[in-house]
Structure 1
Amino acid sequence: MTASAELTATPAASDSRWLKLAIALGLVGMADILLYDGRPIGLGLPLFLAALATAGILVNVAMTSRARLIGATALFVAGLAPVVENLGLLSFPIMLVMILSAVAFATDPGARGFTLPLTAARQLLLIGPFRLVPDIIMMLRDHSLTRALLVWSIPLTLGGVFVLLFAVANPVIAQWLDVFSFDGSASELTTARAIFWLLALSMIWPFVHLRWRQRVEPTQPAVDREPDQAPSLLSTVLGPATVIRSLILFNVLFAIQTILDGAYLWGHAALPNGVTYAAYAHRGAYVLIVTALLAAVFVIVAGRSEITATGSPLIRPLIYLWVAQNVLLVVSSIQRLHMYVDTYALTYWRLAALIWMILVAMGLVLIVLRIALDKPSAWLIRMNLVMLSITIYACTFVNLDAVIADYNVAHSREAGRSGPSIDSDYLVWLGPQALPAIDRAMLMSPSDRRLTADRDRLLLQQQTRMADWRSWSFRGWRLQRYLDTHPLLQNPS
Structure 2
Amino acid sequence: MRFTFFCKIVVVVTLVVLFGWLFPDSFSGARIGGFAAAWLVGLVLGRGDIRRNRRSWIALAVAALFVSSLFDDPGPLAWVLFWCALSIAALLPKVTRFDDAWHWGARLVIHAVGGIGKPFADLRRFGRSKQGKRINAGAIMAMLGLPLVGGALFVALFAAANPLIAQALAAIRLPSLWQILLWALVAVCVWPSLRPHASVMRLAARLPDPEPVLPGTSLPSVLIALALFNAIFVVQNGLDIAFLWSGGALPVGMTQTEYVHRGAYPLIGTALIAGVMALAMLRPGSASARHPWARRLVTLWVVQNLVLVASSVLRTIDYIDASMLTAWRIAALAWMGLVALGLVLICWRILGGRSARWLINWNALAAAVVLTMCTFVDLGALAASRNVRRQAPAAIDLCYLGQVGDGALLPLIALEQRPMDAVTRDRVRYARDLIFTDLSARQDSWTEWTPRGARRLARATAMLGPNPARPLAVDQPTWRNCDGSIEHPAPPAQP
TM-score (norm. length: structure 2): 0.49
TM-score (norm. length: structure 1): 0.49
Where relative contact order (Cα < 8 A, 6+ residues apart) is larger, the structure is 2
Query: Which has the higher Rg, Structure 1 or Structure 2?
Result: 1
